[in-house]
Amino acid sequence: MNRQDYFSDRARGMKRSVIRELLKLTAKPGIISFAGGLPAPATFPVDYVEAAVGSVIENEHATALQYGPTEGDARLREDLALIMRTDGTKTSPDHILVTTASQQGLDLISKIFLNPGDTCITGSPTYLGGLQAFKSYQGVPVGVELDDHGMIPEKLQETIKRLEGEGRRPRFIYIIPDFQNPAGVTIPESRRKIILEIARKGEYLIVEDTPYRQLRYSGESQPTFQSMAPDMVISLYTFSKIMLPGFRLGWACGPNWLIDKMVMAKQAVDLCTPPFNQAITHAMLVNGALEKGLENTIEHYSNKRTIMLECLEKEFADIPEVKWTKPEGGLFLWLTLPDRMSADDLFQNAIDENVAYVPGSAFFPKNDDFQSMRLNFSYASEEQIAEGVKRLARVVRTNI
């Protein structure tokens, strides 16, 4: 019997993460990697973790080491509601589900909304992990073009009209509004209002994925989709990029009826997010770890972003056809090559020069755009950024 015959149709359609596989290639000595979305270890609040672990073990071990409610630690949910209210989004703990990072939120969303063959709308490009979650439930992501201000409303309207005309009504609209992964662009408030009008008219839910929102280095903060339309938006957050990734802790916020269904779906997956991690995180938040840590993180990443942008300007000065975005925050920027070039084709050349990136085709629903690449500026050192951009420019120049 063919071993593949043991698997379900869904399992046979699963694919490994392109980025996770690329990271294996970039592990060799001497390589400078702009490929992953790894936070810099220098930003991890180690002292706060150490103090919180000791406190939880001493005072809360009976509950922190036990099973917990699926919805999450009640104290942490209050903390999360406060974080969101401080950011301008009115909510309460009963609208919040603690998740095992925001990737689990994407999986739960896919699980409760997508039947095999169902469509959903995403940006084009969009987050690879989102595409992976939607496709793993045999959903069909349909991309909507972006510009320097995010998803283009006119293109969104055209796509919805086309899909409805084909009898393939999308199940939801997936948007990363702040410092989008991979493009690094932010949707301004005026455009958010138009997108919401389109969604409300068609009675579509919006899935707002906002893992980097607090990492703003320039410009003005824009209101969340959740704050503008709490009845039709489910928002996904994570501590992975703003505090530390190792706890795998995030949360979803949305209407009660939707959160309730996500709770049911989560109970079949892991029963609850680790109570120990939740208790530690609550203790850290009470002690100000997030606010104080963000000051350091924002300064750290802002400097690296500036260095990468300056190096791109310098090293690609003689190749004016190469373009890149200038993000106001987040971890990534998006570099586009001249029309005749393919970032996929250049990848091995870059590895040979000891510099790595993620080919842009991985971020398109149909993997059909080969002209761009995603560059991460959070993980490499400032010296590595300068040298890595120099190597990358040399690769492009050699193959132009």
Residues 194-212 have pLDDT tens digits of 999 999 999 999 999 999 9
pLDDT of residue 16: 76
* Residue 254: closest CA among 237, 230, 272, 273: 230
H helix runs in 316-380, sequence order: 343-352
At what angle are helices 289-315 and 46-64 packed, to 10 degrees? 140
pLDDT of residue 292: 94
What is the average pLDDT value for the chain, to the nearest integer? 95
pLDDT of residue 22: 67
Taking only the tens place, the pLDDT of each residue in 227-283 is 999 999 999 999 999 999 999 999 999 999 999 999 999 999 999 999 999 999 999
Instruction: Note the pTM of the prediction, 2 decimals.
Output: 0.96
CATH architecture entry for 47-289? 3-Layer(aba) Sandwich (3.40)
Specify the domain boundaries for CATH 3.90.1150.10 within the chain.
Answer: 8-45+291-399
Question: Per residue in 51-84, is it b (16+ CB within 10 Å) or e — as a string?
Answer: bbbebbeeebeeebeeebebbbbebbbebbbebb
Sheet with strand 358-359: strands edge to edge: 323-324, 332-336, 372-376, 358-359
Whole-angstrom CA distances from 141 to 119, 138, 266, 267, 335 are 6, 9, 23, 26, 23
pLDDT at 96 over 70: yes
Taking only the tens place, the pLDDT of each residue in 176-186 is 999 999 999 99
pLDDT at 148 over 80: yes
Taking only the tens place, the pLDDT of each residue in 277-332 is 999 999 999 999 999 999 999 999 999 999 999 999 999 999 999 999 999 999 99
pLDDT of residue 91: 98
Q: 8-45+291-399 in CATH: which number?
A: 3.90.1150.10
Determine the 3-state secondary structure of 216 from DSSP. strand
pLDDT of residue 14: 79
21-30, 49-58, 298-307: which has the minimum mean pLDDT?
A: 21-30
Distance CA(252)–CA(87), nearest Å, equals 15
What is the percentage of the chain residues whose pLDDT exceeds 90?
90
Sheet with strand 206-209: strands edge to edge: 96-99, 250-253, 233-238, 206-209, 173-175, 119-124, 140-147, 150-151
Both tokens assigned to 136: 């793993």
pLDDT of residue 319: 93
